[in-house]
């Protein structure tokens, strides 16, 4: 619909107006810094930042019901800038005018209900939110849409010159960063740093295809991240990891979409999200808190972070119940099938600690948990989900495995319903499925296939005394008819088909 087709009283708030009073706020010393330049850490104390809207209370001029109506009506608009996550512009980055919004089709990924059979088998009530259905096939596109829209705004309206964006990545961030940056060529160029051999072939192909400089570094993601942080501290580059607080704003849209798709009713809902660099869980908590503060939702859902036992620093941190006694200790990661989350020193840990504290204060009690799962559980649950109609990556398997652990631990109770985050597209991680089906996992993963979950192609290649077609050697006439009949007979026998 066009804006002029809406009722006059609805037109007033239909199109977001540039506004807000955004500042970087340091999570440690509390100092405030202008957003006129790109900052990643506090110039006063070096801690990570969040972007805060000092004008947020102005949004309370509309009631929760009015905001719900605005966001619901915007669904009907055919304005590209509002088709994606900027539908929630006032909550994300209201300083960015619509003419600078970069929309590549991100957001509004589906909530897919688990089948009754799968729910019954697992004894759990849940759906997946398929964030693999974003343009570069992961949730990172949400964050990039805001970070690159802001860069676009700086270039278009603030006279910023050429920008080189950099990021470290386990595969998804680099794919998203390269894609969004390439849309803004030639003003924006992109370089990505990858831990050599620790990114799947599909993920490696993505930044290459988008024309980014791809630099492979020895070590793991944490090593690449340190190099990128050094670059950002010492050179003219735009850092696109979630250390960049604009990324966090974009990823809050996950929470807004979940709430909207559930008709803004989060009663008895539980959110399961894998933790890697910890930007996503930070964003999700922040997003739900904003909705709650504006009266758009009445209840804050439980948020459960999930980590593999091969990369579990956040889980370990929260093992200590007494907040005063918790000690942050990065870990050395082991090979993990949840490769996107194979991170031992997440840059957003200070955000997690602070936002979880605020979340629970706002909710009036415990609402944030972290559970740990095994590599075996991740693989088993990814495959189990996928053979019940889902398109779930290893991180999605991690979310589902986390749900079952959370149920066993009494964190999720009967009657509660979970939303499991499938963070990326399954096809990025098919190598792990193949290793499972072929039983070729290197021992350090600790994964053995469950026979009932294994699936292998069967060859129907050579039939006795039957001429078969080959590449560049098609059959024709009588020979082709005989081939079709003989092969169909063989297939029917293997499938146990009865003749009509």
* Distance of alpha carbon 350 from alpha carbon 29, whole angstroms: 12
- Is the CB of residue 224 less than 8 Å from the CB of residue 168? yes
Determine if 130 is a binding residue for ligand LJ64HWYM (CB under 6 A): no
* Distance of alpha carbon 162 from alpha carbon 350, whole angstroms: 32
Determine if 173 is a binding residue for ligand LJ64HWYM (CB under 6 A): yes
- The single residue among 20, 279, 313, 335 that binds ligand LJ64HWYM, judged by CB under 6 A, is 279
- The single residue among 135, 250, 276, 335 that binds ligand LJ64HWYM, judged by CB under 6 A, is 276
Determine if 149 is a binding residue for ligand LJ64HWYM (CB under 6 A): no
Of the CA atoms within 13 Å of residue 368, those in its CB half-sphere come to: 26
- The single residue among 53, 106, 125, 172 that binds ligand LJ64HWYM, judged by CB under 6 A, is 172
Q: To the nearest 5 percent, what fractions of the chain are helix, strand and coil?
A: 45, 15, 40
Site string for ligand LJ64HWYM, 213-232 (x = CB under 6 A): --------x-----------
Give which of 126, 202, 168, 199 is closest to 421, Cα–Cα. Answer: 126
Task: State which of positions 337-376 bind ligand LJ64HWYM (CB under 6 A).
Answer: 340
Please, which residue, 290 or 351, has the CB nearer to ligand LJ64HWYM? 351
- Is the CB of residue 98 less than 8 Å from the CB of residue 86? yes
- The single residue among 16, 84, 132, 171 that binds ligand LJ64HWYM, judged by CB under 6 A, is 171
Q: How far is CA 411 from the centre of its chain?
A: 23
Which of the ranges 20-28, 83-91, 276-284, 475-483 carries the binding residues for ligand LJ64HWYM, by CB under 6 A? 276-284
Task: State which of positions 20-39 bind ligand LJ64HWYM (CB under 6 A).
Answer: none
- The single residue among 100, 130, 149, 242 that binds ligand LJ64HWYM, judged by CB under 6 A, is 242
Give which of 205, 223, 222, 226 is closest to 214, Cα–Cα. Answer: 205
Please, which residue, 169 or 376, has the CB nearer to ligand LJ64HWYM? 169
Determine if 257 is a binding residue for ligand LJ64HWYM (CB under 6 A): no
- The single residue among 109, 136, 277, 376 that binds ligand LJ64HWYM, judged by CB under 6 A, is 277
* Distance of alpha carbon 482 from alpha carbon 460, whole angstroms: 15
Cα angle: 383, vertex 384, 388; to 5 degrees: 110
Determine if 190 is a binding residue for ligand LJ64HWYM (CB under 6 A): no
Please, which residue, 82 or 193, has the CB nearer to ligand LJ64HWYM? 193
Helix or strand (DSSP H, E) at 246: helix 245-251
- Is the CB of residue 110 less than 8 Å from the CB of residue 132? no
Q: Please, what sign has the CA dihedral across residues 227, 230, 235, 237?
A: positive
- For the bound state, the minimum distance from the C-beta of residue 388 to ligand LJ64HWYM, rounded and expressed in Å, comes to 26
Please, which residue, 70 or 232, has the CB nearer to ligand LJ64HWYM? 232
DSSP for 13-59 reads HHSPPS---EEEEETTT--EEETTS--SB-TTT--BEEEEETTGGGG
Please, which residue, 107 or 171, has the CB nearer to ligand LJ64HWYM? 171
* Distance of alpha carbon 408 from alpha carbon 412, whole angstroms: 8
Binding residues (CB under 6 A) for ligand LJ64HWYM: these are: 140, 167, 169-173, 221, 241-242, 276-277, 279, 340
């Amino acid at each position: 619909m066009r804006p002029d087709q809406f009722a006059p009283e609805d037109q007033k708030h239909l199109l977001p107006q540039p506004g807000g009073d955004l500042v970087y706020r340091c999570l440690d010393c509390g100092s405030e810094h202008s957003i006129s330049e790109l900052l990643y850490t506090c110039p006063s104390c070096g801690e990570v930042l969040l972007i805060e809207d000092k004008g947020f209370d102005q949004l309370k001029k509309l009631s929760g019901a009015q905001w719900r109506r605005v966001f619901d009506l915007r669904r009907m608009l055919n304005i590209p800038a509002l088709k994606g996550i900027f539908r929630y512009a006032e909550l994300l980055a209201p300083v960015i005018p619509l003419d600078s919004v970069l929309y590549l089709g991100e957001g509004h990924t589906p909530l897919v209900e688990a089948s009754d059979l799968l729910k019954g088998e697992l004894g759990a009530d849940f759906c997946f939110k398929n964030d693999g259905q974003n343009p570069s096939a992961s949730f990172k596109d949400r964050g990039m849409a805001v970070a690159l829209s802001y860069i676009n705004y700086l270039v278009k309206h603030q006279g910023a010159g050429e920008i080189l964006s950099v990021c470290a990545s386990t595969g998804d961030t680099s794919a998203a960063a390269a894609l969004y940056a390439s849309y803004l060529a030639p003003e924006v160029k992109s370089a990505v740093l990858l831990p050599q051999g620790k990114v799947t072939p599909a993920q490696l192909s993505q930044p290459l295809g988008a024309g980014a400089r791809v630099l492979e570094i020895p070590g793991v993601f944490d090593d690449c991240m340190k190099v990128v942080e050094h670059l950002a501290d010492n050179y003219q580059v735009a850092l696109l990891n979630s250390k960049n607080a604009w990324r966090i704003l974009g990823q809050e849209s996950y929470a807004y979409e979940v709430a909207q798709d559930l008709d803004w009713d989060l009663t008895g809902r539980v959110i399961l999200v894998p933790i890697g660099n910890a930007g996503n869980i930070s964003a999700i908590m922040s997003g739900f808190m904003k909705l709650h503060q504006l009266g758009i939702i009445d209840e804050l859902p439980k948020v459960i972070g999930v980590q593999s036992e091969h990369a579990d620093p956040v889980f370990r941190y929260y093992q200590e119940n007494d907040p005063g006694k918790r000690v942050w200790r990065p870990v050395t990661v082991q090979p993990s099938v949840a490769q996107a989350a194979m991170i031992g020193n997440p840059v957003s840990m200070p955000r997690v600690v602070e936002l979880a504290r605020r979340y629970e204060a706002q909710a009036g009690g415990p609402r944030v948990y972290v559970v740990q799962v095994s590599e075996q559980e991740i693989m088993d649950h990814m495959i189990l989900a996928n053979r019940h109609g889902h398109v779930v990556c290893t991180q999605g398997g991690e979310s589902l495995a986390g749900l079952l652990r959370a149920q066993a631990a009494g964190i999720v109770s009967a009657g509660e319903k979970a939303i499991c985050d499938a963070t990326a597209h399954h096809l990025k991680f098919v190598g792990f499925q193949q290793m499972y089906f072929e039983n070729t996992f290197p021992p350090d993963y600790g994964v053995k296939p469950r026979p009932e979950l294994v699936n292998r192609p069967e060859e129907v290649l050579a039939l006795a005394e039957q001429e078969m077609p080959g590449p560049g050697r098609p059959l024709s006439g009588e020979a082709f008819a005989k081939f079709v009949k003989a092969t169909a007979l063989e297939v029917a026998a293997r499938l146990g088909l009865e003749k009509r």
